Amino acid sequence: MKKKRILYFLAIGVLGYFTGMLAGRAWALGTSFNLNTLVPWISASCLLIAFISIFVTIYFLKKSRKFHSLYQMEIDDDVNETYYVQMYRNLEFGTIAFNVVSVMTILALFISMNEVMILHTSSIVLGLSVPALILAAVLQKYLFKTISIVRQFDLSFFSIPKDVLDYVNSYDEGERQANLEQSFRILFQLNQYVLPGLYILIDIVSVLTGEIQLLALLAVAVIHIYINVMQIPMVKRYFK
């Protein structure tokens, strides 16, 4: 454990060193580098990832349904166990891929909107983002139908947190524990690594553009505060 802590602080030191070098290089470049030239590439890349993820989502969801059908027909317990694991495994992979579709489609849409309105560049990505958004909505319906088939749980198209909590509570005990542990890891890493890293990245962008990215800093700060303040209801609920 002590070695892990030493390695952890060494990693932070190395990261800080390279971040400082990058910031210095960015300062030397100054305004000669225009980030606007990257915007069309970023929006197109986001849209490409979204379309690829659509096919990946369909692939995993179809496999989940296939294994569910085999699970229903198989009578051998050992083989059934394999089908059981595979139908849930593929369902979860499909869900993750769908979440990537959602994020990348929305990102491509909003970046391309700004690209057209502010930079006055081509509207091809914006035009393709709209059907991608429609495909994402259709894909969400397909996902929820698959969840209904595999887990026998109906999620509404516009689910609220209570619906998702009920869905998670429908998991078996081992799966709930695994989700709890993973949620804690995600929250911890967001709080300690990802969001602090974004502050550094935004500062580098500020140096590159010669403009203080105040809105971006405030947005990250709001998220940072939110994920911490939202622990208060849990404390009140369980430590009355």
Structure confidence by residue, pLDDT tens digits, 139-191 = 999 999 999 999 888 888 777 778 877 888 888 888 888 888 888 888 888 88
CA separation, residue 222 to residues 3, 111, 161 (Å): 34, 21, 20
pLDDT for residue 170: 80
CA distance 62 to 94: 9
CA distance 7 to 22: 22
Q: What is the dihedral of CA 156, 159, 161, 162, to 10 degrees?
A: -30
Question: What is the residue extent of each domain of the chain?
Answer: 21-170, 173-240
Is residue 66 within 8 Å of 59, Cβ to Cβ?
A: no
Say which DSSP state 230 is in: T
pLDDT for residue 157: 76
CA distance 113 to 170: 40
- Segments in the chain below pLDDT 70: 1-36, 74-77, 239-240
Q: What is the dihedral of CA 232, 234, 238, 240, to 10 degrees?
A: 30
pTM of the model: 0.76
